[in-house]
Amino acid sequence: MKLIFNYNQANTKYTAQEKDVDLPDELKRESLPLCNVNEVQIIRHYTELSRKNYGIDTNFYPLGSCTMKYNPRVNEDIAKLPGFANIHPHTPASHAQGALEVIWELEEILKEITGMDAFSLQPAAGSQSELLGVMIAKKYFAEKNEPRTKIIIPDSAHGTNPATAAMCKFQTVTIPTDKRGNMDIDEFKKAIGKDVAVVMITNPNTLGLYEENLSEIKNIAKENGALMYCDGANMNALLGISKPADQGFDMMHLNLHKTFSTPHGGGGPGGGSLGVKSFLEDYLPVPRIKKENGKFIFDSKNEKTIGKLHSFYGNFGIIVRALAYIKSWGINIEKISKIAVLNANYLLCLLKEDFDVPYDRRCAHEFVISAKKFGEKSTINIAKRIIDYGFHAPTIYFPLIVKEALMIEPTETESKETLDEYAKVLKTIIKELKEEPELVKNAPYTTPGRLDEVKAARQLNLRWIPKES
Amino acid sequence: MNFIPHTKEHISKMLSVVGCSTLDELVSEFKPRLSELNLDEPLSEMDLVSYMTSISEKNSPMKYFAGGGSYDHYIPAVINHLVSRGEFLTSYTPYQPEASQGVLQVLYEFQSFICLLTGMDVSNASLYDGASALAEAALLSSAHTKRKGIFVDDGLNPNYLKVLQTYCDGTELSITNSIDENTACVISQTPDFFGNIKNPQGLIEKAHQNKALFINCISDATSLAIIKTPGEFGADIVVGEGQSFGIPKSFGGPYLGYIAVKEFLTKKLPGRIVGMTTDEKGNEGFVLTLQAREQFIRRERATSNITTNQTLLALTATIYLALLGKSGLQNVARASYHRAHILQEKLKKNSFELINTNPFYNEFLVKSPKPTEKIIADLMECNILGGIDLGDNKLLISCTEKNSLQDIDSYISMVST
């Protein structure tokens, strides 16, 4: 394996030769040990690397909780239009009306889809949206002189929920999951009190199940003056069908890159967003984008705002793609969710007999099954073997409450044929596990072998170091 | 548009396997919305392109003499071609390293580039943007020193200061006026918001005397090609915005935050880190490592809540740096520096007051002899964004290699009286 630093060629020139600068020695850089590679080789190097990578374009990629749906290419082209890609963020609003319109328009549409009263698109990703939500809750209660110190989070939640609460110095209270996969309502009742600031619920939850006790949870939370926060990471189940504000949520975030199909790019960039009910609108970060007399303007006047989260206005390029995606679906948006739910339930039915199903209910847009009956570590072995059959593995060992968990989210863009094939592959692997367990334990064979993660963490090698130093 | 491959027959077959007669029955458990859904009719691809193009045309791309955290550098053509490859574009966080060696190696190369440029020991695989990278560095400092005071030197990008203040309010840290035994970190930007290249030596010593960490924030990342590295000066943490490395301005995002630290802070870093290791046969390969820091394992004890990062932009920056190499990046930095100095000199001759006293990189502050609103409006008539109006007739002006000498002459001809 060759690193980009291992070549010794003449670089291609992209701009003109320039004379040296006249800086005092104490401020001037002496050596710049960058690599020397020609464009031809760079194309080959990174094309070769791309071929060592699975993506939605090459392989079915049913990572649970990540919503790996097809990314329409037209949205890429649209984000690259000069009027979007080449606009400097310090352009006065008068000459960036289209950019402001895009942000404003997407906020309006997200309000319509979720039932929330106002949106901010400044958060750069889901976890920054949560951070914004928790910061708002903190400020809201501080202004009410209510010293609330706790945030209630079910044990099935994404790790970001407790991590965010802890960042803002809240104590997290973890509620166990009941036998039907809901947040345990009796334990919730014991935990709730006037010291709870926020009840954070993911709906459908990370087990792929719709929370059945939402209205009771909401009533109890409201009686105690707590805010209801919806982690909308799984909104791909509910588009056009439910509006989370109707269930009593005061705040919710949407991951634009999941639900609205912007490419995940190997781990980002994503796009966040936070929707709030009107009584929290004044806390949203500035600048807000408003429409006055047919013109779009920046508004930073708000005194109650929690401040600012992003260097500029959010991940604008992702906002453009999300808007284009929603416009392409328009009023038919509920079809996305219905087919996502159909695909998940169909694949679950195909696999039900072969795996343990921890909560025997109809699932939402994803589902969790367990390989515990095949013994410890069978999930990781299955995941690695799946790669040999040309598919990406599901999310594994999450949620933490299910032993040997496989979390599968097919999304609406996968065909029946692909789902049938995936089920067939899983059944084959189970057969292999019984008949030839070593074959599965040593997989994969079609890619590099299993990589030693313990060694990686113990003998840290985190960068290339030039030989002369 | 329709990206659902099912025929009607598929749907009814699948429904029967699931045991439902209709799609509505399938989702009947979900609480239905209580109000109408007011969305437009769906658009075909052709209509969508025409609709979005018409909105994009309400924006006016210009010649930019504005920076302030976003810089108009030349982007080599090949970058877009490589970054658009579906294997990169449509993959996700490399949870299964065997199926993600491409992205993992790219991130290892990115981390290496950031260390080479900054003179630091360890870089992570990216953060959201420059502002949040700075805020994460402040949180890291507080976690390391168990202190809550954040000292900020003059000249920090005001947007970064606002984001830092927001993070401090939310996480119970405070921005203070003195460096003392409560100081977790001293933050200084160089080149700063006004382009000043500062020698951080004195502040670094003062921070270290008080057992606080020194965070060096950087404005235009191309400056690293010609300015002595923060690592050599003795910074503990370096953060900044990597947008200059081949990333479109795109009205402010998505951009590329980077953070690099000295070795003793490695395990406090937020976000993803890629490490090299071997497989069972001894072949080299890459994995996400030190994951015990992260939220999906550590939950409330994680070093940060960050999950998604900016991988595709780290790929962009990696390819940019590989393409330019040493002399290419030096040429970009030198051209940006020279053009800014030429423009500043010409403005001086036209009665603009120069405010920078330090050496500056590609950005500088002037006080205008006439109202800046008028100057900006006049320049906009010629399709030039002349700078950032900071009020009080002060204008922050920036140049890159894209601002030709002719552009500079047209700028001057518009503002000369």
| pLDDT 10s digits, A305-332 | 999 999 999 999 999 999 999 999 999 9
Can you tell me the distance from the alpha carbon of B260 to that of B244, in angstroms, rounded to the nearest whole number? 17
The enclosing domain of B225 has a CATH number of 3.40.640.10
Is the residue at B93 inside a domain?
yes
In a domain, B394, yes or no: yes
Find out whether A39 and A14 touch, Cβ atoms under 8 Å.
no
One domain for residues B154 and B188: yes
Helices (H), A371-436: 378-388, 416-435
Q: In this predicted structure, what is the pLDDT of residue A468?
A: 66
The string of pLDDT tens digits covering residues A255-314 is 999 999 999 999 999 999 999 999 999 999 999 999 999 999 999 998 999 999 999 999
Kindly report the CATH number assigned to the domain that includes residue B338. 3.90.1150.10
Q: Min CA distance, B97 vs chain A (Å)?
A: 7
Is there a single domain that holds both residue B335 and residue B310?
A: no
Asked if residue B102 belongs to a domain, the reply is: yes
Indicate whether B17 belongs to any domain.
Answer: no
**Average pLDDT score over residue span A142-154:** 97
Query: Which two structure tokens, joined as six digits, stand for A288?
Result: 């807000």
pLDDT number for residue A104: 98
Radius of gyration, CA atoms only, chain B: 25
Decide if A463 touches B, using CB distance below 8 A.
yes
Q: pLDDT (tens digit, 9 = 90+) per residue, A195-251?
A: 999 999 999 999 999 999 999 999 999 999 999 999 999 999 999 999 999 999 999
- pLDDT at position A147: 87
Q: Give the domain-ending residue among B294, B317, B340.
A: B317
> Which residue, B317, B340, B370, sits at the end of a domain?
B317
What pLDDT does residue B304 have? 86
Q: Is A295 helix (H, G, I), strand (E, B) or coil?
A: strand
Report the C-alpha gap between A441 and A436 in whole angstroms.
Answer: 9
pLDDT digits 0-9 by tens, A182-201: 999 999 999 999 999 999 99
Please report the pLDDT score of residue A297 as a whole number.
Answer: 98
Same domain, B355 and B304: no
Residue A267 and residue B308: Cβ atoms within 8 Å? yes
- C-alpha closest to that of B107 among B258, B246, B218: B258
Q: In terms of domains, do B81 and B69 share one?
A: no
DSSP A301: -
* A181, pLDDT greater than 60: yes
Is A53 within 8 Å of chain B by CB?
A: yes
Q: Which of B53, B131, B309 sits opposite A310 (nearest CB)?
A: B131
- Picking from A247, A331, A338, the nearest residue to B41 by CB comes out as A331
CA A56 to each of CA A270, A322, B90, B288: distance values in angstroms, whole numbers, following the listed order: 16, 18, 5, 20
Q: To the nearest 10°, report the CA torsion of B380, B384, B386, B390.
A: 50
Q: Is A332 left (phi over 0), alpha (psi -120 to 50) or beta?
A: alpha
Per the CB < 8 Å rule, is B169 touching A43?
A: no
Say whether B106 and A266 touch across the interface (CB within 8 A): yes
* Cα dihedral B106, B110, B113, B115 sign: negative
- How high is the pLDDT of residue A319? 98
Whether pLDDT at A89 is above 90: yes
Cβ-based contacts of A460 with chain B (< 8 Å)? 266, 275, 289-290
**A24: amino acid identity, one letter:** P
- Of the candidates B32, B132, B326, the beta carbon closest to that of A34 is on B326
User: Is the pLDDT reported for residue A469 higher than 80?
Assistant: no
Beta bridge partners of residue B150, listed in sequence order: B175, B185
Domain co-membership, B282 together with B367: no
Phi (first) and psi of residue B71, to 5 degrees: -125, 140
Q: Tell me if B29 is assigned to some domain.
A: no
Asked whether residue B369 is domain-assigned, the answer is: yes
> In the prediction, which pLDDT does A263 show?
95
- What is the residue type of A84? F
Shortest distance between the Cα of A189 and any Cα of chain B, in A, equals 22
Q: What is the pTM of this model?
A: 0.98
pLDDT, residue A358, reads 97
Which of B35, B44, B56 to probe by mutation at the A interface, max A CB count within 10 Å? B56
pLDDT of residue A35: 85
Tell whether B157 and B250 lie within a shared domain: yes
CA dihedral B17, B22, B23, B29 (to 10 degrees): -90
Min Cα separation B230/chain A (Å): 10
* Cβ atoms of residues A100 and A296 within 8 Å: yes
Q: Does A362 contact chain B (CB < 8 Å)?
A: yes
Residues B166 and B311 in one domain: yes
- Residues B130 and B271 reside in one and the same domain: yes
Q: Do B303 and B334 belong to one domain? A: no
Do B304 and B333 have their domain in common? Answer: no
What is the pLDDT, as a whole number, of residue B303?
84
Same domain, B91 and B222: yes
Q: What is the rounded average pLDDT of the residues A446-454?
A: 94
Instruction: Determine what percent of chain A is predicted with pLDDT higher than 90.
Output: 98
Assigned domain for B56 exists: no
Residue A334 has pLDDT above 90, yes or no: yes
- What part of B 156-215 touches A (C-beta under 8 Å)? 157, 159-160, 162-163, 165-166, 169-172, 197, 199
What pLDDT does B299 receive?
85
Q: Are A381 and A359 in contact (CB under 8 A)?
A: no
Domains along chain A with CATH numbers: 4-50 (no CATH), 75-331 (3.40.640.10), 335-454 (3.90.1150.10)
Domains: count for chain B: 2
> B21 lies in a domain?
no
Given a cut of 50, the residues of chain B with pLDDT beneath it are none
DSSP characters over B180-235: STTEEEEEEESS-TT-B----HHHHHHHHHTT-EEEEEEEEGGGGGTBPPHHHHT-
Give the amino acid at B176. Answer: T
Residue B229, pLDDT score: 98
Q: Which two tokens stand for residue A207?
A: 């087990």
Average pLDDT, integer, range A133-149: 97
Say yes or no: B84 and B105 in one domain: yes
Q: Which of B266, B286, B317 is the last residue of a domain?
A: B317
Q: Which residues pair with B406 in a beta bridge?
A: none
A360 at the B interface (CB within 8 A)? no
- Chain B contact for A291, CB < 8 A? no
CB contact under 8 A, B95 and A63: yes
Q: Which residues of B touch A124 (CB under 8 A)?
A: 128-129, 132, 253-254
Range of the domain at B357: 63-73+325-415
The position carrying tokens 């595709």 is B312
Nearest to B92 among A63, A134, A456 (CB): A63
